[in-house]
Amino acid sequence: MTIRADVADKGQVQHAAEAAIKEYGHLDLLVNNAGVTLIGEVGDYTIEDWEWIVGINLWGTIYGLHYVLPHMIERRSGHIVNVASAAGLISMPGNAAYCATKFGIVGLSEVLRAELARHNIGVTVICPAGIVTEFEKNARVKGWSKFKPGSYVKSYGRTPEVVANKIVSTIEKETFLVIIGAEARLLYAIKRFFPRLYYRIGVIMARRLEHFR
């Protein structure tokens, strides 16, 4: 059954969840996957830009949880997959709003994992690096007239099928944190074990953003 819904609209998310439960009797799996990105430096964002990305990326995940979780708790069964990003673990200059929403999803998932263990509900948070989709091409770009969306993902990204298969296998294994992409795992390791180097890399990356203007 397919239901079209705007995840930033709590009423539409509620309708989708209730319709699915009515049709099938129960829900075993919730995957919060919808997301958008905002590219540019923080000083170029408008309040409307912030509201747009937070509404979809973070509130969309919260709404999904709010309308499905009570059903899973009552049944003492289910699994929640929150698709965050490598940007939920490491800073990405030029992607502050996106990082803010994805860091929020990672933190939310960590708490959920602890709270839902006694209810027999699994939690997985997926943190992939670039995936070859139209995601970046559909981004809002602010202040960067020379930026060409999609160049990095086209060269280094992995296919949606690779990520989807990884998600399925991690649900079966009940794995919590899954980082997809060698570049993401490397930067996350540098952040954890060499924080000064990690900060320095961020400063260098941020300085190089000027050539996009």
Indicate which residue of 63, 98, 156, 198 is catalytic.
98
In sequence order, the β-bridge partners of residue 179 are: 127
Between CA 61 and CA 123 the distance in angstroms is 13
CATH number for the domain whose boundaries are 10-212? 3.40.50.720
Residue-level pLDDT at 134: 79
Residue-level pLDDT at 156: 63
Low-confidence ranges of the chain (pLDDT < 50): none
Residue-level pLDDT at 153: 61
**Annotation marks residue 98 as catalytic:** yes
Residue-level pLDDT at 137: 79
Look up tokens 């180097």; give the residue: 197
Residue-level pLDDT at 76: 97
Between CA 157 and CA 64 the distance in angstroms is 27
Q: Are strands 140-142 and 38-40 parallel, antiparallel or unpaired?
A: parallel
| pTM of the model as a whole | 0.93
**Where do the structural domains in the chain lie, given as residue ranges?**
10-212
Residue 56 tokens read as 């979809």
Residue-level pLDDT at 80: 97
Contacts of 40 (CB under 8 A, 6+ apart): 94, 140, 141, 142, 143, 144
